[in-house]
Amino acid sequence: MKRNILITGGAGFIGSHVVRLFVNKYPEYRIINLDKLTYAGNLANLRDIEHAPNYTFVRADICDLETIREVFRRYEIDGVIHLAAESHVDRSIKDPFTFARTNVMGTLTLLQAAKEYWNEAWEGKRFYHISTDEVYGALEFDGSLFTEETRYNPHSPYSAAKASSDHFVRAYHDTYGMPTIVTNCSNNYGPYQFPEKLIPLFINNIRHSRPLPVYGTGENVRDWLYVEDHARAIDLIFHRGKIAETYNIGGFNEWKNIDLIRVIVKTVDRLLGNPEGTSDKLITFVTDRAGHDLRYAIDASKLKRELGWEPSLQFEEGIEKTVRWYLENQEWMDQITSGEYEKYYDSMYKNR
Ligand code: NAD
Ligand code: DAU
């Protein structure tokens, strides 16, 4: 079946993996990747598919209603997979307005453009919104997990903005009948992640013998999922998920930050041929992130039960693959960490 699918945020980390998967797996689909190319968007993430005949890139802001309307009309969009967002918690603490604008108003703009273009002919249409486990707030160290029924309780401006966007998506279903789906995923890792996030930042810092800033005591827990497993889940849910449903996606893979950091240090040292323990001294405990959520952990059993999805990659294999990728793609990293980004990076860490 032919389809015209609008994927937003496709030149970012997760979006680029989703675009690649869809372009390669569905030659009969036309994939329109719409991205503003903020600091986090990078077309180098999609070099391998940029000339594919079923792929089109559109540079646009999801908050620009006129342009989004035009994109729906021109490309006759019948499905949306919405990933574009401001995604970094530390930036949201410094600049909450940008997060409200893009994550809330941008999502609302897309919903409105879809509603107008589809004009209640909902058959075969789908608006799939990609969200985060952070909307559920924080767990204690008590073995409990976030389920699809967990009450929303966001703490950071980032998660508050994502929570709000989730509510708007559900409101467009409940009020207008739009065929929507929301998924809430745990921390992703893998190639092409912007090096402000823990794993690529630390791999790059170790390579340059720079300090590794561990927030607080390093006791916070995150649930890590390899990004290609998330992309596979998105593919499955886009095609077979039930309208108006929410699905949690997670790795069943909880790590205390400090334990994860020790694995990264060990793996980078080994792959660089350094004697074991060489980079341990780089671990530096710094002031904690404001409002730092203690623990995230996803119960993804509904997705397993209903659609048969599970993570395919063991964490040991995933982290090895990831470290190797960043070490072998130094040019990709250097292009990002030079120039303007470097200045931003310096100013962030000076203020700590
Ligand atoms: P990212 O920051 O790597 O990429 C975001 C992309 O959105 C970039 O390409 C950026 O240019 C684009 N963008 C930002 N503002 C835009 C705007 N106004 N108009 C158009 N494009 C814009 O983010 P990511 O980590 O790939 O996350 C993608 C999505 O998945 C986000 O919605 C995020 O909330 C969600 N998510 C991320 C994770 C994770 O661990 N990274 C986990 C769960 C959910
Ligand atoms: O849970 C899903 C979320 O995961 C996504 O919605 C977000 O978009 C994504 O950025 C990620 O959020 P986190 O805040 O968990 O990711 P980050 O990589 O920023 O941090 C991971 C953990 O490591 C967190 O507990 C904070 C800590 N940390 C992070 C950085 C950047 C440090 O200790 N030092 C650091 O320098």
pLDDT value for 339: 60
pLDDT value for 1: 85
pLDDT tens track for 219-248: 999 999 999 999 999 999 999 999 999 999
Question: How many angstroms separate the alpha carbon of residue 70 from the centre of ligand 2?
Answer: 36
Nearest residue to 92 via CA among 147, 161, 2: 161
**Model confidence at 345, in pLDDT bands (50, 70, 90)?**
very low
133 is catalytic: yes
Pick the catalytic residue: 29, 128, 136, 158?
Answer: 158
**Two tokens at 351?**
């203020």
Q: How far apart are CA 260 and CA 320, in angstroms?
A: 12
Residue nearest to atom 25 of ligand 2 (CA): 220
Residue nearest to atom 36 of ligand 1 (CA): 132
pLDDT tens track for 275-312: 999 999 999 999 999 999 999 999 999 999 999 999 99
pLDDT value for 105: 98
Buried b (16+ CB within 10 A) or exposed e, 232-269: bbbbbbbeebeeebbbbbbbbbbbbbeebbeebbbbbb
Q: What is the mean pLDDT of the chain?
A: 96
158 is catalytic: yes
**Model confidence at 350, in pLDDT bands (50, 70, 90)?**
very low
pLDDT tens track for 114-172: 999 999 999 999 999 999 999 999 999 999 999 999 999 999 999 999 999 999 999 99
Question: How many angstroms separate the alpha carbon of residue 138 from the centre of ligand 1?
Answer: 21
CA distances to 29, 107, 109, 110, 140 from 114, in Å: 18, 11, 9, 6, 39
Question: How many angstroms separate the alpha carbon of residue 306 from the centre of ligand 1?
Answer: 27
Question: How many angstroms separate the alpha carbon of residue 197 from the centre of ligand 2?
Answer: 6
pLDDT value for 347: 53
Whether the per-residue pLDDT at 95 is higher than 80: the answer is yes
pLDDT mean over 184-210: 98
Ligand nearest to the CA of 85: 1
Pocket of ligand 2 (CB under 6 A): 87-89, 132-134, 186-187, 197-198, 201, 213-215, 220, 222, 257, 289, 296
* DSSP, residue by residue, 26-89: -TTEEEEEEE---TT--GGGGGGGTT-TTEEEEE--TT-HHHHHHHHHHHT--EEEE--S---H
Percent of the chain with pLDDT over 70: 96
pLDDT value for 174: 98
Ligand nearest to the CA of 213: 2
Whether the per-residue pLDDT at 34 is higher than 90: the answer is yes
pLDDT mean over 180-186: 99
Listed range (122-131, 189-198, 343-352) with the worst mean pLDDT? 343-352
